Structure 1
Amino acid sequence: MRGIISPKLEPFLLQVNKAIADAQEQGVAFSAELVRTGLNNLSGLLDIKPDIALVCDKALMLENREIPVRIYHPSPTEKLPVLLHFHGGGHMCGSVELYDPISRQLAQHSHCIVICVDYRLAPEHPYPAGIDDCQHLLTHYKEVLNGLNYNDKLYIAGDSAGGAICTTLVMNNQKSNTIKIDKQVLIYPSVDYTMSAASLEENGKGYLLEKSKISWYFEQYFKVDNLNHPLIKKASPLLGNFSSNMPETFVITGGCDPLRDEGLAYIRALKNVNVAVDHHHFADMPHAFMLLQSLVADECEKSYQLIGQFLKS
C-alpha cells in the first residue's frame, strides 16, 4: 500500500519533485558528484548538534592507507559501551562530517561511545571495499580507543546503506569466535539488493528516494549492468543465512519508504530464528527522514529516544 506522507513534508517534497522533473526534462544524468551534492545539501536541515564532552578524529592505520573515524565520548570518566555508526548514502554518498549531528545525538541518547567511520565509497571504490573498511573497524575498533574509558559491550547502528552494512557484518560474523555484536540498530535499512519488495513500486516515486536512483546506486556499487548478476543475491543480507547467533535488533521503518518491506521482511526473518526484535513504524515518514530533522523534529526525537531505550535496556 502506498504511504500517505506527513503534511509537514509536503512543501519540501513538492520542491524536490519539481527539481527531479526539471532534471529529467533537461536530460541531466545521475553522477556521483550530483548525488553527493544533493545529499550534502540536506545538512542545513540537521540543526540539532548537541555538545559531547569528548570529540576527536582518529584513523585506523593500514599498510598503504588509513580509515578515518570520529569518536564521540559523552562521559570520559565512565567506561561506556561502544556503538559503531555506519552512515547511509547509497554506498556512494555520506560522510562523518554530514552525519556529525546524528552521531552526536546517538551518543547523547544512548550514553555510548560512538565511532563513526568514513568508509570508502563507490564508484571509485566498489563493493566490497566499504564493507572491508567496516569489517576492519569491527575487528580493530579498540585500537582507536587507546587511553579512553570503554567496556566490552559492542553495538552497531546504521541507516539505509548503513543498515545494509550492519546486516552484512552480522551475516558475515555469525560464527566468529572473536567478534560479538551485542545489539544492532537499523534505521530504514537496505537489505535486499535484488529490489524485489512491493514497496519499491508503491513508494518508488515522489518520496525523496526514487526507485530509478536506487537501481543506479546499486549498479555503481557492484559495477554491474543489471541487478540479475549472481553477486547481487549473494551480497543481500536478507537472502543470507539467519541464525540465533544474530544480535538483538531494533528496526525503524517508514510507511512512505520504498525500502519499507525489506525492513519488515528482515524483522520476520530474525523472529523466525528466535532473535529478539523491537520495531517502530512511522506510517507517514519517507526514507531518510532523520536527515530532515528541522522539518520532522518530533519524529526524529522519538527515534533517538527509542534507540537510547533499546541500547540502555
Structure 2
Amino acid sequence: MRGIITPKLDVFLMQVNTAIADAKQQGIPFSAEAVRTGLNNLSALLDNKPDIELVRNDELVLTDRKIPVRIYHPAPTEKLPVLLHFHGGGHMCGSVELYDPISRQLAQHTNCIVICVDYRLAPEHPYPAGIDDCQYLLTHYKTLLNGLNYNDKLYIAGDSAGGAICTTLVMNNVENKAVKIDKQVLIYPSVDYTMTSASIDENGQGYLLEKDKVTWYFQQYFQVENLHDDLVKKASPLFGEFSNKMPETFIITGGCDPLRDEGLAYLNKLKAAGVTVEEHHFPDLPHAYMLLQSLVEEECERSYQLIGQFLR
C-alpha cells in the first residue's frame, strides 16, 4: 500500500520531483558524481550539530590502504559503550563529513563513544570492498581508543546501506568468538538487493528514493546488470541464516519508503529466530528522512530519543 507523506515535505518533494523529471526529459544519465553531489546537498538540512566534548579524526592503517574514521566521545572522563556508525548512501555516496551531525546526535542521545567510518564506495570499489573495511573496523576498533575511556559494550548502527552493512556484519560474525555485538540499530535498512518487495513499486516514485536509481546503485555495487544474479541474493541479509545468537535489534521504518517491506520482513525473521526486537514505524515518512532534519525536526528528535532509550 502506497504511503501518504507528511505535508511537511510537500514543497521539498515537489522541487525534487521537478528536478528528477527535468533530468529524465533531457536524457541525463545517472553518474557517481551527480548522485554524490545530490546527497551532499542535503547537508544544508542537517543544521543541528550538537557540541561533543571530544571529536577527533583518525585512521586504521593496513598494508594496502587506510580507513578514515571520526571518533566522538561525549564524556571523556567516563567509561562508555562504543557505537560503530555505518552511514547510508546506496554504497556509492555518503561520508563521515555528511553524517557528522547525525554522529553527533547519536553520541549525545546514547551517551556512547561513536566511531563513524569512511568505508570504500562503489563503483570505484565494488562489493565487498566496503564490507571488508567495516569488518576490519569491527575487529580492530579498540586500537583507535588508546588513551580514551571506554567499556566492553559494543553497539552498531546504520541507515539504509549502513543498515545493510550492520546486518551483514551480524550474520558474518554470529559464530565469531572474537566479536560480540551487543545491540544493533537499523534505520530504514536495505536488506534485499533483489528488490522484490511490494513497497519497492508502491513507493518507488515521488518519495525521494526512486526505484530506477536504487536499481542503478545496486548494479554499480555488484557490477552486474541483473539483480537476480546469485551473488546479489547471497549478499542480501534478508535471505541469510537467522539465529537466536543475533544481537538485540531496534528497527525504524517509514511508511513512504520503497525499502519499508524488506525492513519489516527482516524484523519478522529476527522474531521468528527468537531474537529480541523493538520497532518503531513512522507511517508518513520517506526513506532518508534523517537527512532532512530541519524539515521533519520532531520526527528526527523522536528517532534519536528512541535509539537512546534502546541503547541506554
Identify the residue that residue 297 of structure 1 maps to in structure 2. Answer: 297
Identify the residue that residue 59 of structure 1 maps to in structure 2. Answer: 59
The residue type paired with residue 296 of structure 1 is V
The residue type paired with residue 83 of structure 1 is L
Corresponding residue SS for 2:281: strand
Counterpart mapping for 1:1-313 below 5 A: 1-312=1-312
Equivalent pairs counted in the alignment come to 312
Corresponding residue SS for 2:285: coil
Root-mean-square deviation over aligned CA pairs: 0.4
Q: Cα deviations across residues 101-126 of structure 1 (Å, max 9, x unaligned)? A: 00000000000000000000000000
Any stretches of 5+ residues in structure 1 without a counterpart?
A: none
- Runs (4+) off by over 6 Å: none
Corresponding residue SS for 2:9: helix
2:55 and 2:228 map into 1 onto residues whose CA distance is 43
Cα offset for 1:136? 0.1
Corresponding residue SS for 1:231: helix
1:226 and 1:48 map into 2 onto residues whose CA distance is 40
2:167 and 2:178 map into 1 onto residues whose CA distance is 18
1:183 and 1:308 map into 2 onto residues whose CA distance is 12
Corresponding residue SS for 1:283: strand
Q: Cα deviations across residues 189-212 of structure 1 (Å, max 9, x unaligned)? A: 000001000000100000000000
Cα offset for 1:182? 0.1
Deviates more, 1:58-67 or 1:71-80: 58-67
Corresponding residue SS for 1:134: helix
What TM-score do the two structures reach when normalised by structure 1? 0.99
2:303 and 2:23 map into 1 onto residues whose CA distance is 33
1:172 and 1:65 map into 2 onto residues whose CA distance is 22
1:227 and 1:263 map into 2 onto residues whose CA distance is 18
Cα offset for 1:152? 0.2
Cα offset for 1:135? 0.1
Q: Cα deviations across residues 133-192 of structure 1 (Å, max 9, x unaligned)? A: 000000000011111000000000000000000000001001011100000000000000
The residue type paired with residue 121 of structure 2 is L
Cα offset for 1:228? 1.5
Corresponding residue SS for 2:56: strand
Cα offset for 1:64? 2.3
The residue type paired with residue 65 of structure 1 is R
Q: Cα deviations across residues 227-261 of structure 1 (Å, max 9, x unaligned)? A: 01110010000000000010000000000000000
Deviates more, 1:18-27 or 1:59-68: 59-68
Cα offset for 1:226? 1.2
Q: Cα deviations across residues 75-123 of structure 1 (Å, max 9, x unaligned)? A: 0000000000000000000000000000000000000000000000000
The residue type paired with residue 42 of structure 2 is L
Corresponding residue SS for 1:285: strand
Any stretches of 5+ residues in structure 2 without a counterpart?
A: none
2:92 and 2:267 map into 1 onto residues whose CA distance is 26
Corresponding residue SS for 1:57: strand
2:223 and 2:253 map into 1 onto residues whose CA distance is 28
Cα offset for 1:65? 1.6
